[in-house]
Amino acid sequence: MQRIIIDTDPGQDDAVAILLALASPEIEVLGVTCVAGNVPLARTARNARVVLELAGADIPVFAGCDRPITRDLLTAEHVHGPSGLDGADLPEPTLPLQPQHAVDFLIHTLRREPPGTVTLCPLGPLTNIATALRRAPDIAPRIRQIVLMGGAYFEVGNITPAAEFNIHVDPEAAEIVLKSGVDVVMVPLDVTHRVLTTRARIAAIRAIGTRVAGVVADWLAFFERFDETKYGSDGAPLHDPCVIAWLLRPDLFAGRRINVEIETQSPLTRGMTVADWWRVTDRAPNATFLGQVDAEGFYSLLTERLARLRP
Ligand code: RIB
Ligand code: CA
Ligand 1, closest atom to CA 166? Answer: 4
- On average, the pLDDT of the chain sits at 97
| Average confidence (pLDDT) over 121-137 | 99
Domain ranges of the chain: 2-306
* Ligand 2 mean position, distance from CA 114 (Å): 28
Burial class (CB in 10 A: 0-12, 13-18, 19+), 104: middle
Residue 77 CA neighbour count, 13 Å, CB half: 7
Q: Note if 239 is an active site residue.
A: yes
Q: How far is CA 271 from the centre of its chain?
A: 16
Summarize pLDDT for 27-51 with one digit per residue, the tens.
Answer: 999 999 999 999 999 999 999 999 9
Element (H, E) at 275: strand 273-275
Summarize pLDDT for 211-229 with one digit per residue, the tens.
Answer: 999 999 999 999 988 888 8
Q: Is the pLDDT of residue 311 over 80?
A: no
The CATH architecture assigned to 2-306 reads: Alpha-Beta Complex (3.90)
Q: Is the CB of 68 under 6 A from ligand 1?
A: no
Nearest residue to 292 via CA among 259, 264, 251: 251
Summarize pLDDT for 134-160 with one digit per residue, the tens.
Answer: 999 999 999 999 999 999 999 999 999
* Ligand 2 mean position, distance from CA 7 (Å): 9
Summarize pLDDT for 262-280 with one digit per residue, the tens.
Answer: 999 999 999 999 999 999 9
Residues counted in the chain: 311
